[in-house]
Chain A
Amino acid sequence: MSKFFLVRFSEAIVALWAITVIVFALTHLSGSPVDALLPDDATPEQAQMLIEEWGLDRPLLVQYFTFLGNVLQGDFGDSLKWRGQTAMGVVLDHLPATLQLGSFAVLIGVVVAVPLGVLAAARKNSAIDTSANVLALLGQSIPNFWLGIILVWLFGVTLGWLPTSGRGGFSHMILPAIAMSWFQIAALTRLTRSAMLDVLDAEYIKLARIKGLGERAVVWKHALRNAAIVPLTYFGVLAGSILTGSVVIETVFAWPGIGWLAIEAIRGRDYPVVQSVVVVFAVIYILANLLVDLLYAYVDPRIRR
């Protein structure tokens, strides 16, 4: 297990390093921050002063290693848009909002999708199964930004039941979390259903039934426990899609998390904040996948070999 952990951990470190290269390269390919930050009537001297101040006149390799050294210390420099704050400080200010919304979205996804997938499999070809399939189809084909706007208009404007946007009490979380979890519900339902169908056909389940075990115990205890490993592997992807989904959903719902922050930083070419957001996204994503790999290996010893 420790060898497995070391291999996976090394892979995660390499992935993170690759991300720093990509982030650095992309932000420099998209133009100079000086162009975005200087006013229209800035003098060439002002531009030069900023270029020197930010070290943009140094060779790219030097800039990269300076960047990498700072990243290792969590120092991405000062924000260019949120003046007076460090880039990482700005990201950490916004991170709780995303974690709050993301956690709630995951909770909704699990609470809805797993039972639905189990019921659809247990009652194959029934009305529940058909409904689950339709829901899954809709979930995977409806773009979440569109769904978000529809939810805002239906529940926020027409019915007036929930706030349209912003971060406040629990009620503010409901619509964005539904929009964010919509795709997850679809994917997780399908995964759970197919995993359960495989398991329900297994010999040991048939044996359990022959032995006279109740159907409820067969499905929810024995079958689900064995089928759960498949959806479990999906949680790494889920964490990633929650983060990337947050960019769109937080923009639509004006939810001030790091997805919203990413868009704002890109608009203002606040490179330090953009870099911080991407690296934080990457760290969360890689950690989530590492955790899933380890859990998977723990649950299924064959993986470790």
Chain B
Amino acid sequence: MAHHALNLSARLAGSTAIGVMALALLTAASDAAAVERVTIVMDPSAAQTNRAWATGGAFDLDAVYQRLIGNDPETGEYDSSGLAESWEANEDFTTWIFRLKPEAEWHNDWGPVTSADVAHSYEIQTGPDTLATGVASLRGGTAEIIDDHTISFHFDEPKMDFDFANAGRGSMYIYSKAQFDAEGVEGYDNEPAGTGHFRFVEREPGRVLLETVQDHWSGTTPDFNELELRFTLEPATKLAMLLSGEADISVIPRELLGDATGSGMEVVTSEQPSKQVVVMPDGLYMKEGDPAFNPGLPWTDVRIREAMNRALNRDEIVEALYDGEAEPLVRYGMHETHEGYVPELAERFEAEYGFDPERATQLLEEAGYPDAFEEPVIPIVSTVSPGSPEYPTMAELIQVYFDSVGFQTEIIEMDWASLGALGRGREAYVIHPVQNAPIRPSNVALTNTFLEEGSTYHGYEDDALTAIVEKMAATIDPKAREDLMREAFTYAFENYTDMPMVSLHHPVAVNPEAIVTWQYPGVTSNGLSHWHLIDTVE
């Protein structure tokens, strides 16, 4: 019996030891399999600095800083995942009030987020040295601190898009006033404190390293410990980094996605389209008495603009440039989830914009092209814009289609900044591609596209459309605004103000051995956001 008991004890002890060892091995295996650091390789930002307000595009610390308003990861709609738990505007949109989350805290023990931080951030980001895109949507207000967690902004005129300026596409990161008071702007340079899910660790040439904030105040903590951003310009190298396992996520051009998936990688795309691409017949400064108006341009004639649209075989273009992975675009600036959407235009598109080279040739004849125009040659700009490497090929395709219906064309190579300079000088008498990225709210898109004070890359202005858009911009009543937006989109559609091309989601290639998925809506300038929702393999 004793022998049996001993035997049983030994067996139990042995089994227990084996169990413990197996458990330890399993745990070790599990630890080994868990992703400690997520590395993302992408193009270098237009600017590499912690002073985002002093540049037109510095997104390196987008995972560190937060804005007042968040975006839903699926729909992209505004939500309370930012620093404000709620916000509202008064009836005429001249006052906006934000209530901050009392639990929000700064990294590195700089204390809780307060209204003073917001007022300070507003001051530095609307100052005279600010170069941030969209700063016009922020400027002109006065910040009033109501209490530690309530702040209001007062404007002389209605500021309908102030929520947009404070959400994902906006430029207003919230910076710590306490850090600024203690360390000055050098504090932001050396050890910037944010409120996001990731804390700044170091910036080296070509690389930024962030670490996960454990027990983040928001209640959600990423399932990995470090986020490394590596910046590489060469697409083949970015793909190689992914395939070799040096990067877990690679932001590569669309034409390389097939190579990635062919090698066992997977593609994750933004939940919503992240940009719209059109070809813009620029330089149409057609408001009465505008000295920049050039009547010698063929595309001042709406028949020529329709012919341009009719000449394009969009299906072929989508196939050639985007491997068929793009949605057709009906109207630049219009999107079904935004205000002012006109579903009828989608129904009319094929009949009025569809590929019809015979009709295009006929329209040219009706317009008296080329003899009726002083400058009959259509200059098509071949350029490269950040995130759109396909533009040069697109320019060549457009030339082929235009030539085939009887247009005289020439390709002009020009860098993106020089094109902007032409627009700023109001002499952009060229045809060129342009994007709406991310897809802005309709009111922003319309003012940006059709008003003289809008983007320099858009050049369609006439009295009727300007009147509609200006009236919309000054209208507070939601129903009336919606009607005016619809009217503006319909007018633009019927006057062929541009050549709609495609609506695109933002893709990234991921290594499925490290990344399960990543949900991001595609609402920021570079298409990426919601870094804490990168879901790694356990």
Contacts and interface: CB of A to CB of B under 8 A. Distances in A.
Contacts of B207: 166, 256
Interface of B is mostly: loop
Interface of A: 31-32, 34-44, 46-47, 49, 80-85, 93-94, 97, 149, 152-153, 156-157, 160, 163-167, 251-254, 256, 260-261, 263-264, 267-269
A38 B54 CA distance: 10
Contact of A37 (B56, B185, B231, B246): B56
Interface of B: 44, 46-51, 54-56, 58, 128, 131-136, 185-186, 189, 204-207, 230-234, 236-237, 240-241, 243-246, 415, 417-418, 420-421, 424, 448, 453-457
A32 B246 CA distance: 38
A160 B244 contact: yes
Contacts of B128: 49
A43 B136 contact: yes
Contacts of B46: 81, 267-268
12 contacts: A31-B415, A35-B421, A35-B424, A38-B420, A42-B456, A83-B54, A153-B240, A160-B245, A165-B241, A165-B246, A166-B206, A268-B46
Nearest to A258: B205
Contacts of B232: 165, 254
Given A31-B415, A38-B424, 4 more contacts: A83-B55, A254-B234, A264-B233, A267-B44
A37 to B, nearest CB: 6
B421 A40 contact: no
Contact of B233 (A43, A167, A251, A269): A251
Contacts of B240: 152-153, 156-157, 164-165
Contacts of A256: 204-207
Chain B CB count within 10 A is highest, among A39, A44, A85, A251, for A39
Given A35-B417, A83-B49, A41 B206 contact: no
Contact of B185 (A31, A84, A160): A84
A41 B136 contact: yes
A269 B246 contact: no
A149 B236 contact: yes
A31 B417 contact: yes
A51 B123 CA distance: 23
Contacts of B230: 166, 254
8 A-B pairs with the lowest CB-CB distances in the bound complex, closest first: A256-B205, A39-B133, A36-B417, A83-B49, A35-B421, A256-B206, A254-B232, A40-B455
Nearest to A254: B232
Given A81-B55, A83-B49, A166-B246, A39 B206 contact: no
Contacts of A264: 44, 48, 233
B234 A251 contact: yes
Contacts of A82: 47-49
A252 B240 CA distance: 11
Contact of B131 (A38, A152, A160, A260): A38
Chain B CB count within 10 A is highest, among A94, A160, A254, for A254
A5 to B, nearest CB: 37
A83 B236 CA distance: 29
A157 B421 contact: no
B49 A252 contact: no
Contacts of A261: 205
A82 B51 CA distance: 9
Contact of B206 (A46, A153, A157, A254): A254
A32 B237 contact: no
Given A41-B134, A83-B47, A254-B231, A156 B185 contact: no
